[in-house]
Structure 1
Amino acid sequence: MKVLVPVKRVIDYNVKVRVKADGTGVDLANVKMSMNPFDEIAVEEAIRLKEKGQADEIVAVSIGVKQAQETLRTALAMGADRAILIVAADDIHQDIEPLAVAKLLKAVIDEEQPGLVLAGKQAIDNDMNATGQMLAALLGWAQGTFASGLEIEGENAVVTREVDGGLQTIKVKMPAIVTVDLRLNEPRYASLPNIMKAKKKPLDEKTPADYGIDVTPRLTVVRTAEPRERQAGIKVGSVDELIAKLKDEAGVL
């Protein structure tokens, strides 16, 4: 079975995000970038499936700027077999929207014919949580989202999902789309020998035009602003005082 893993280049989760002075977006100048943490978990799960003998090949795919090569090399160093980079933007500030990403991934899947697509449930930069679901709709495949557990049983995938009320276990017929959550696994660090080997692994470079997909943005960012600072809490002396403040000051009662 071939496993396809989409990965995204995002601001490193340890970096404090800065908003541009003119409010047009996030400042990415000289900012450390890395693989989206949820995608890293997806890569790790694909590697574990291969180690169990349930996967034969792992293909990592990234869509964005040319610098995303670094992200794909990280996936290759972790254990992916080959990579595909679709250069869909020249400006690092341009984010490719989920529908365009899903259409490009569908085109790649039509060529590669994987048995399973493992993706992060969302990217930590835009938090849209939409690409996996859109991709499943375009392909007509089964999907399991927010996966905290995954087992392959023959032609089916048993997915444990994190839902509001607890955990839900579903069985989906493959090929399928599975989007992963934080508690699925702990991603490994790429060793130095594997980092060196990754430089020799195949990385194909494509463009949206190669697949006949239009990635023109359909959304316009009106304004970007820092979140308001949280105000300090206060102590109340009694339940009556608490109720009065909730009613008169907070206006929630």
Structure 2
Amino acid sequence: MGLYIEAHIRADMDDLWTRTQTPSEHQRWDLRFTEIDYLPRAQDEPQRFRYATRVLPFVTVSGTGVAAGERERPDGTRTSALRFASPHPLSLLKEGSGYWRYVPEGDGVRFITGYDYQPRWGRFGRVADRLLFRPLMVWATAWSFDRLRLWLERGITPERALWNWIAELAFRVAVLVTAVTGLGLGPLARYTPPLYYLFPQLLLVAACMAVFKAHLSCVPSARRCVRRAPARARAPRLMRALETPR
């Protein structure tokens, strides 16, 4: 698959399955979706769903999908697969497919996703996807996985985790702006010799810490997830049986 994200979550398999397979729970931690609803279905049919994402305060794009899951496998792993499509003209994602894989490992579960999609808008869409949208989707997926991890491991709700992230981001921006602005005050430090030599170095250290310092343990971070697929990674067979929704 084109995009790959992996996180190790120290949690019970059933709890992780519930938080990811229940629409009302899923939409709380996944930054990519604002709303997810299951649609009525016959007992022997794959589960169809509707999703929506708010891209601007008054603009929401929506689409439909079909999903199937294997709750139990002989090796202890679980897998769910889906195909999705959006007819909305403002949605860059035309259609795509993906999977979630749950692998028991040590004191938790290795939670993996792989997915890919076809962009619309012709050549412009392909360029915008490669330069902007696809990296954004990788970051949003990894960030959401870590927010899910905080929920399961530490009881930090997705809503609280988002506010933690916003607060830390605001602090980092304030430090960075202060450091950059302070460079213009360098000449004032010549009247106090010790500061004259240390002032630029201190500002540089502050700016670097604002950009590169690891996030607090209570703040979701995409850096904590694996974002490069191993050579052995491949899509599950379950996905081949699903039709692309129209």
- With the shorter chain as reference, the TM-score category is under 0.3
| Bigger CA radius of gyration | 2
Structure with larger RCO (C-alpha < 8 A, sep 6+): 2
TM-score normalised according to structure 2 size: 0.25
TM-score (norm 1): 0.25
